[in-house]
């Protein structure tokens, strides 16, 4: 492991944890995460574009992203910001969406059938020897914690997922 | 994610979500060779999105909805996604700072604090 930008990825029972060190000031890393002008430059996979990137950066505010694949397929995602502490912490809920921002199950895009309907992403930023240490946790929310329920049938998948994670 | 990047593969999954099917049945609506369809199926199998069952000489395919496999799968998918995405962020931050050095005036205010 080198000090510079070594990815540490650990699997937790309910999600993913990634730690990264970026050779950039904390204020800039924060901006890259929260300013649409910056997000549009790095968020999508290679050759994807981000034709829609709306960010209402405040607790309870929503975002709406659209990633366009090279063949022109759109993948929308949305969610609510839960915690916004500039340059320190960002917490948001993440779901797949349609173009109007309505939550849809991942199966709408033919992603894994049992993907949670809502996921939570928690990112913290710390100074680290003149660099910025970022820790990201991406977890699936169990059915009980869901904010908006749009599909009753989806509960079953959640029960299965919850059972499998025990 | 890559497994789902191709429209044919999404269509194959869509078909299999309706129930088990033979390779030839899956291939029928496509305007491509059986060989090409088989390649797409193989990619889906590698991504654990499709399962294959053999009954004598017949091969049956099904969408993989094993909950344990799926749970591991979405976590694995997202681990990969974040790894790639953060690689791009790292690259972007580097470029951004290089450009800033060239044009120190422009973004200076953003960097304060």
How high is the pLDDT of residue B51? Answer: 87
pLDDT tier at B1 (50, 70, 90 boundaries)? low
**B93/A73 CB distance under 8 A:** no
Reported ipTM: 0.77
Q: Which residue of B has its CA nearest to A166?
A: B68
Query: Looking at the domain assignment, is residue A1 inside a domain?
Result: no
* A3 lies in some domain: no
HSE at residue A137, side-chain half, CA atoms within 13 A, is 12
Tell me which residue range forms the domain holding A63.
Answer: 8-165
Interface contact B68, partner A, CB < 8 A: yes
Q: Is residue A155 domain-resident?
A: yes
Most B CBs within 10 Å: which of A11, A39, A86, A110, as the mutation test of the B interface?
Answer: A110
Q: How far is CA A46 from the centre of its chain?
A: 17
CB A49 within 8 A of CB A43: no
Q: Is residue A34 part of a domain?
A: yes
Is residue A129 in some structural domain?
yes
Q: Is residue A31 a part of any domain in this protein?
A: yes
Q: What is the greatest pairwise CA distance in chain B?
A: 72
Q: Write down how long chain B is.
A: 113
CA distance B90 to B96: 10
Whole-number Å distance between alpha carbons of A3 and B38: 44
* A29 inside domain: yes
pLDDT tens across B9-68, in order? Answer: 878 887 887 778 888 888 888 888 888 999 999 988 888 888 898 888 888 998 876 544
Q: For the domain that residue A49 is a member of, what is the CATH number?
A: 3.30.530.20
Number of structural domains chain A divides into = 1
DSSP A98-138: -TT--B--GGGGT--TT--S-EEEEEEEEEETTEEEEEEEE
More confident residue, B5 or A25: A25
């Amino acid at each position: 492991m080198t000090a510079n930008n070594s990815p540490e990825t650990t699997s937790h029972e309910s999600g993913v944890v990634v730690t990264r060190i970026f050779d950039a000031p904390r204020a800039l890393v924060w901006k890259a995460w929260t300013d649409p002008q910056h997000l549009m430059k790095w968020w999508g996979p290679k050759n994807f574009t981000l034709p829609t990137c709306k960010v209402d950066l405040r607790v309870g505010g929503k975002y709406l992203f659209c990633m366009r694949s090279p063949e022109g397929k759109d993948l929308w995602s949305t969610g609510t910001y839960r915690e916004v502490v500039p340059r320190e912490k960002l917490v948001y809920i993440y779901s797949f969406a349609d173009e109007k921002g309505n939550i849809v199950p991942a199966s709408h895009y033919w992603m894994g059938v049992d993907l949670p309907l809502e996921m939570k992403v928690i990112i913290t930023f710390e100074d680290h020897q003149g660099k910025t240490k970022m820790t990201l946790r991406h977890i699936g929310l169990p059915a009980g914690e869901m904010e908006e329920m749009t599909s009753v049938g989806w509960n079953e998948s959640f029960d299965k997922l919850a059972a499998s994670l025990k | 994610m890559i497994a789902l990047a191709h429209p044919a593969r999404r269509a194959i999954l869509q078909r299999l979500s309706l129930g088990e099917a033979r390779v030839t049945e899956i291939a029928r609506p496509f305007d491509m060779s059986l060989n090409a369809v088989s390649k797409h199926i193989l990619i889906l199998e590698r991504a654990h999105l499709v399962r294959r069952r053999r009954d004598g000489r017949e091969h049956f395919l099904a969408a993989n909805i094993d909950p344990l496999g799926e749970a591991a799968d979405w976590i694995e998918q997202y681990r990969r996604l974040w790894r790639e995405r953060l690689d791009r962020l790292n690259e972007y931050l580097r470029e951004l700072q290089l450009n800033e050095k060239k044009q120190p005036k422009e973004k200076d205010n953003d960097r304060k604090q």
